Amino acid sequence: MALSDETTRNAYLAAWNDWQKQLDHIHRVFLQDEAIRPDQIKGLLNREARKKAVYDEARERLLGIREAETLPAAESNPFKD
């Protein structure tokens, strides 16, 4: 029995795969001594953190914890004149 629609499942699987690729790269650098320049480490960690955030959101939507993102109402825009 499927608990979610196909779009939600596909988004979750894509987010999971993207995050795992970043984790694999981090593991190669920190656990398997893959050489990268010191200035690339910050970018590597930032990419992993962003992919993890996307995965967390997709997971919450899959589990029904978070609804699909919607645009805020016009009156809630703090930048509107």
- Is residue 73, in this structure, part of any structural domain at all? no
**Which domain CATH number covers 26?**
1.10.287
Q: What is the pTM of this model?
A: 0.75
Domain of residue 44: give its range.
6-65
- Alpha-helical regions (H) of 1-81: 6-30, 38-63
The span from the CA of 55 to the CA of 51, in Å, is 6
In a domain, 39, yes or no: yes
Residue 71 within any structural domain of the chain: no
Task: Return all residues near 63 (Cβ < 8 A) that are at least 6 apart.
Answer: none
Q: How many domains does the chain have?
A: 1
In a domain, residue 44? The reply is yes
In a domain, 81, yes or no: no
In a domain, 79, yes or no: no
Determine the pLDDT at residue 71: 42
Q: Report how far apart, in Å, the C-alpha atoms of 5 and of each of 2, 30, 63, 80 are.
A: 7, 37, 11, 35
Per-residue pLDDT of the chain (81 residues; tens, 9 = 90+): 466 789 999 999 999 999 999 999 999 999 999 999 999 999 999 999 999 999 999 999 999 887 766 545 556 656 555
